Amino acid sequence: MVDGRTFAAPIFGSTYAIIINRTIIMKNLVAALLLALVGTLGPAMLIADDGILNANTATAEELAAIPEMDEFLVQAVINNRPFGTISALNERLGADLSDEELQGLYAHVFVPINLNTADESDILLIPGVGSRMAHEFEEYRPYTSIEQFRKEIGKYVDEAEVARLEQYVTLE
């Protein structure tokens, strides 16, 4: 060790200074461990970035891939479908999951809310939506298009957040 960051090592009869940056080594080590971990989980443990699953249409396999869902909860969702509102799903799962667990679950599976008819209580079940944002959802009713939703809600949050919120809503 020369100065704590470099050391000299004999290579093929000559001595070359090899600079080792501990930060780079640690970053590469962490990246390799994460890749190895993901590889051992297999596809069933990964949740696709295809958006939020609809609790009324998701398959048992898709639901089982959600971290908060065990076999009992998967069957509870499947056996009690269709859910008319997210509140109906929330009522069914609320007996078995804490509010924190439900919020984590709703980041992956949800019953889309109708922008023009949803109660404030349904809007508030969208992860990250508080009373002020729920008010903004309601203020611009009736929505005639999803583009109108993007424009109006886009006044309050950035484009990425509008896209995230859009996964939870419908005009049907």
- Residue pLDDT, tens place only, 86-137: 999 999 999 999 999 999 999 999 999 999 999 999 999 999 999 999 999 9
**Type of residue found at 82:** P
- pTM, to two decimals: 0.70
- Report the pLDDT value the prediction gives residue 145, as an integer from 0 to 100: 97
58-91 tens-digit pLDDT: 999 999 999 889 999 999 999 999 999 999 999 9
Contact 17, 75 (CB under 8 A): no
131-167 tens-digit pLDDT: 999 999 999 999 999 999 999 999 999 999 999 999 9
Indicate the angle between helix axes 86-94 and 99-106, nearest 10 degrees: 140
- Report the pLDDT value the prediction gives residue 172, as an integer from 0 to 100: 84
3-state secondary structure (DSSP) of residue 169: strand
Contact 86, 122 (CB under 8 A): yes
- Report the pLDDT value the prediction gives residue 19, as an integer from 0 to 100: 39
Residue 5 scores a pLDDT above 50: no
DSSP letter at 114 equals E
- Top pLDDT among 94 and 6 is at 94
Whole-angstrom Cα Rg for the chain = 24
- Report the pLDDT value the prediction gives residue 62, as an integer from 0 to 100: 97
* CB contact set of 121 (below 8 Å; sequence gap of 6+): 87
18-58 tens-digit pLDDT: 433 443 334 433 344 333 433 333 333 333 345 899 999 99
